[in-house]
Amino acid sequence: MIGQDSSKPKWVHEIERFLAIKPQFLLCGNVNDVFPASLGGSVATLGLPDYLKELLTNNGYSLVVKYEPLTGFSLLSGGADLFEKITGEKLCAGENLTAKLDKAAAVAAALAFSADAHSALILRFASRINDLMEENEVESFFYRMFRMSIESTPRIMHGTAADRPRGKEPHPLYNPLFWIMDKENDLPPWYVLDNPRVHVLPIPRPNNEIRNCIVDAVSPKIDGYAGMSPDLKVENLAIFRDQTVGLLAGEIAAIAQMAKNEQIPFGQIGDAIRRYKLGIQENMWEKLDRGKIVNAETFLSARVMGQPVAVRQAADILKRSRFNLSGAQFSRYPQRPKGILFLSGPTGVGKTELAKAVTELVFGSATHYIRFDMSEFGHEHSNQRLIGAPPGYVGYDVGGELTNAMKQNPFSVVLFDEIEKAHPRILDMFLQILDDGRLTSGRGETAYFSESLIVFTSNLGMYEQLPDGTKRPRVTPEMHYNEIATKIGAAIDDFFKYKINRPEILNRMGKNIVVFDFIRPETARKIFERMMNNILFRLDDSYGIRLSFEDTALQRLAELVCSDLSMGGRGIGSNIETYFMNPLSRRLCELHDGGPGAFVVRDVRETQDSWDLEMW
């Protein structure tokens, strides 16, 4: 911060140190942010040109001028008479002097070589010069600026003691030129390479000290700050600082402005930060119907049968999220996802179905979730599909599938199917999601997961590999559930800790790893009955066909369908298709005349090459 040496960023110290050594500076990186400056006893947030103006004025510069490719020259400090004396051009305060590059180069040279006053020129949006000007103009301009950097010399300006910075004796200073660019390579390589006359200074994102200074500066502008007790003021300032880690200074100032515009008191600054990050005002979790949440376990059990442990855990997470208690033990305004579920166990037992059921309960539709099949991300660089390609690569402007989806709808259930099939480097991405509730895309945009429910599914622990390379089941349906849970849990530990060496991911899962049981015969019969009811309803609703069964036929069909439970619920559905739906379709084509009708299934029998139904 200008005015306090201990709080100045490193790049500010370097500018002051090199004003007597370097004639040109290239500032790149975080150049479009705001910066705190001490003005008249208070702290103000300034854009980079105005911040440089204050810095240069404090170091004895009498004239600071800004140039932009389209608008031309404008005075930041110093009088119009001094500018005209040095450059021969008329420019009044508050006005612009438009100038093509040839004229701009002439004015820049006049300022750089002036012996009348210490002056400085700031070239803002210099990265756009190539886009807005003719190629031959641009080449000539860069050449003249390069020659100016070589020929410039430092000068001593003898003024009164009051004109000198901090009362120091006169000493030689350059009349510097400041390039403000997005990236260092926006200047031609030949300009910067081996040119000791140009000092390159990347401007980083604000550190904790700068960020805290901005928070202290903008907080008094928010309603309710002035009348708040000292203890509450300290507490909410801490929340403001803690919840804006990673944000730019300009974003912090924007949060304060939004809080003021939307009349959010300082005591609810966490809500203002949430609104800014997510871009939405409503909190979908708080709007959840209380009755739905109270009966969540009943609703989920009807969709996911035979898995009481998983259903209870999912219901608890929803109830916790309803009152915004997820992660509350760590922070008053937690950034972690609303909930995390790691579902492991046999195939076809309801892991994906549970994610769909939770989605339907919360959002009213089972298709509202975001799903990623992690078997598609086995390659090390396939993470670019999720977060987007880095700058300079094909697809950079498109963004990532995951980050785009979360920015569009932060209130989501996000399902990562078969997580163990992803490359370990991609799994590292989940550290940031599970710990900080955010993920940065290749374009530098941040997607927030603090309002989402993260669900992982996995088949880890079902099989173990023998020394000869073959596999055998680690768990079987004959085992008790507690034994299954213990063996699969140990296999998950082994995978993350030793096989892929990512114990930190396992640590962030915590106690949210849920092992599913095999489909037991009594559960299989319930699944069979539900699937059959779906079929009967479809026939009646769509075609007016009412189908009924004789008891022996239904029992025979249930025995056939549930005879093999190795593939879980999906296997039951496949068996129904084989033993019932295919022969039913053949019979209906023979018996149904197109209108409403009633049929009775009397038997299910095996023919030479298929199955058939006896109907009338």
- Among the listed residues 74, 173, 168, 198, the one whose alpha carbon sits nearest the alpha carbon of residue 118: 173
Could you give the residue ranges of the DSSP H alpha helices within 74-186?
A: 80-87, 101-112, 129-132, 135-151
Q: Pick the closest to residue 145 from 103, 191, 186 (CA basis).
A: 191
CB contact set of 210 (below 8 Å; sequence gap of 6+) = 1, 7, 9, 35, 36, 249
Q: Which residue has the tokens 């374009």?
A: 443
pLDDT digits (tens, 9 = 90+) for 125-168: 999 988 877 878 899 999 999 999 999 999 887 554 444 555 55
Question: What would the two tokens of residue 306 be?
Answer: 């035979």
> CA quadruple 273, 277, 281, 285: dihedral positive or negative?
negative
Does the structure show a pLDDT above 50 at 32? yes
Domain ranges, ordered by start, for the chain: 5-203, 208-278, 290-515, 521-615
Q: Which tokens belong to 98?
A: 């438009």
| 184 or 3, higher pLDDT | 184
The stretch 350-373 carries a mean pLDDT of: 86
Asked whether the beta carbons of 189 and 132 are under 8 A apart, the reply is: no
What's the residue count for the chain?
616
What confidence category does residue 264 fall into, taking pLDDT thresholds of 50, 70 and 90? very high
Q: In whole angstroms, how far apart are CA 489 and each of 66, 332, 342, 506?
A: 64, 32, 11, 11
Residue 587 identity: R
Q: Which spans in 443-520 are helix H? A: 481-494, 503-509
Q: Mean pLDDT, to the nearest integer, of 42-57?
A: 92
| Ranges 120-124, 186-190, 349-353, 436-440, most confident | 120-124
Q: Quick one: CA torsion of 201, 206, 212, 216, rounded to 10 degrees?
A: 80
Joined together, the tokens standing for residue 26 give 């290239």
Which is more confidently placed, 168 or 534? Answer: 534
pLDDT digits (tens, 9 = 90+) for 583-593: 888 888 887 77
Phi, then psi, of 604 in degrees rounded to 5: -120, 120
Residue range 269-310, pLDDT digits in tens: 988 998 898 887 666 777 777 888 889 899 999 899 999 998
Question: Which pLDDT belongs to residue 8?
Answer: 81
CA dihedral sign, ordered 496, 497, 503, 508: positive
174 against 390, higher pLDDT:
174
Cβ atoms of 364 and 409 within 8 Å: the answer is no
Structure tokens at 380: 């090390």
401/337 Cα distance (integer angstroms):
18
pTM: 0.74
Which CATH superfamily is 290-515 part of? P-loop containing nucleotide triphosphate hydrolases (3.40.50.300)
Check residue 395 and give its pLDDT. Answer: 64
Flag the least confident range among 198-212, 333-347, 391-405, 542-556.
Answer: 391-405
Compute the chain's Rg from CA coordinates: 34
How much is the pLDDT for 160?
43
Question: Does the pLDDT of residue 443 top 90, yes or no?
Answer: no
Quick one: CATH architecture of 521-615?
Answer: Orthogonal Bundle (1.10)
